[in-house]
């Protein structure tokens, strides 16, 4: 391919030809919108995530979902927030049928039926008093997470969410065997139709900072490096994904997205048949919001560029707090 016979710029002459040859098309149907649901009345703004709120389970939440739906966003993932005094070492509010997530699932399913798809995050960190994603044991003065006891609680939690109407449960705790344990429990109780979106390659990332403030789920001691993946590893993601697929995951995930585009690409190349989600996490969202507020970047173009890049890398679905805004911006076409 040689100049002057070949001139790549001919295909960039104007927007019509650029649109015609674009390799990647971003669409609101790619998005899963994460929503925080809480106890009690009144929505609360989340200071670390401008534009995001903790929603009470009621009219305000219905209206918020309705507005997103009108923009073409029809997939939602729910996270629960409970007051500190309701937390305990085993995170029992997480598998309480009267907790905020099951209540929200029931309300939204009653209201919207099959017009929306509901995912429920399955983890314990929002509900444990120590903030870890599992059961903490101390032996010889050293703490560790009891993997096998924890996945039993995840299965219990998944059953409560399935019973409340979740279309998919999404285990995010990075315990070994969590997908198999949940699949087994769902099948044993007749929930064959409920799917699993596994947080397969979830890295121990500082990009989760704003979320932990939003959900009050930061660990009170230690960190999550004994269960979440090491940011230095890409190929290990293939092992996690292989195991999750074998254990019955319907959708696998890479998280975070932006600093892990190589991992998204790697997983897509090795498992082209597996639906792949990527989580555009709270820290990625907060950075864009902060830079936009300071006037350093154009939020619309930067956001659509980031989401397009995540899709180009190989993601089929993108969990993003920008979902409703991005859907609105896409109505005016792409900025490229």
Q: Binding to ligand PBG by residue 123, rule CB under 6 A?
A: yes
11: left (phi over 0), alpha (psi -120 to 50) or beta: alpha
Q: Binding to ligand PBG by residue 125, rule CB under 6 A?
A: yes
| Backbone φ, ψ for residue 171 (5° rounding) | -70, 125
Nearest to 195, CA basis, from 261, 132, 244, 229? 244
Q: Which is nearer to ligand PBG, 62 or 259 (CB)?
A: 259
Site pattern 161..200 for ligand PBG (x: CB under 6 A): -----------xx---------------------------
Q: Binding to ligand PBG by residue 258, rule CB under 6 A?
A: no
- Beta strands 44-45 and 53-56: pairing type? antiparallel
Site pattern 276..305 for ligand PBG (x: CB under 6 A): -----xx-----------------------
* Choice among 255, 289, 311, 328 that is catalytic: 255
Q: Binding to ligand PBG by residue 121, rule CB under 6 A?
A: yes
Handedness of CA 122, 127, 129, 131 (dihedral sign): positive
CB 24 within 8 A of CB 4: no
Three-state secondary structure call for residue 254: strand
Q: Binding to ligand PBG by residue 82, rule CB under 6 A?
A: no
Secondary structure element (H or E) that encloses residue 79, with its range: strand 75-81
Active site residue 255: yes
Residues that bind ligand PBG in the complex, under the rule CB under 6 A: 121, 123, 125, 133, 172-173, 208, 211-212, 217, 281-282
What residue numbers does the annotated binding site for 5-aminolevulinate cover? 212, 224, 282, 321
Q: So which residues are the catalytic ones?
A: 202, 255
């Amino acid at each position: 391919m040689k100049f002057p016979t070949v001139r790549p710029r001919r295909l960039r002459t104007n927007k019509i030809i650029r649109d015609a040859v674009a390799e990647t098309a971003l669409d609101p149907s790619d998005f899963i919108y994460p929503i925080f649901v809480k106890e009690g009345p009144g929505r609360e703004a989340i200071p670390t995530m401008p534009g995001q709120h903790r929603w009470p389970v009621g009219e305000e939440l219905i209206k918020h979902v309705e507005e997103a739906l009108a923009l073409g966003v029809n997939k939602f993932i729910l996270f629960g927030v409970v007051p500190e005094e309701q937390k305990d070492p085993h995170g029992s509010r997480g598998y309480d049928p009267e907790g905020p997530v099951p209540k929200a699932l029931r309300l939204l399913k009653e209201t919207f039926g099959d017009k929306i798809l509901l995912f429920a995050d399955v983890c314990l960190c929002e509900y444990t008093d120590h903030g870890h994603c599992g059961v903490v044991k101390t032996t010889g003065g050293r703490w560790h997470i009891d993997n096998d006891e924890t996945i039993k609680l995840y299965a219990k939690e998944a059953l409560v969410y399935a019973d409340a109407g979740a279309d998919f449960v999404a285990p995010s705790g990075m315990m070994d065997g969590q997908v198999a344990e949940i699949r087994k429990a769902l099948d044993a109780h007749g929930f064959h139709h409920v799917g699993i979106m596994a947080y397969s390659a979830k890295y121990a990332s500082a990009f989760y900072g704003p979320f932990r403030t939003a959900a009050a789920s930061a660990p009170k001691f230690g960190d999550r490096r004994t269960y979440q993946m090491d940011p230095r590893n890409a190929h290990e993601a293939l092992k996690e994904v292989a195991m999750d697929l074998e254990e019955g995951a319907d959708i696998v995930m890479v998280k975070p997205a932006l600093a892990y585009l190589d991992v998204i690409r790697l997983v897509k190349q090795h498992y082209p048949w597996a639906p792949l989600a990527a989580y555009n996490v709270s820290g990625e969202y907060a950075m864009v919001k902060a830079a936009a507020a300071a006037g350093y970047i154009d939020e619309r173009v930067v956001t659509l560029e980031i989401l397009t890049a995540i899709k180009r890398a190989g993601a089929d679905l993108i969990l993003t707090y920008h979902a409703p805004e991005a859907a609105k911006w896409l109505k005016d076409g792409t900025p490229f």
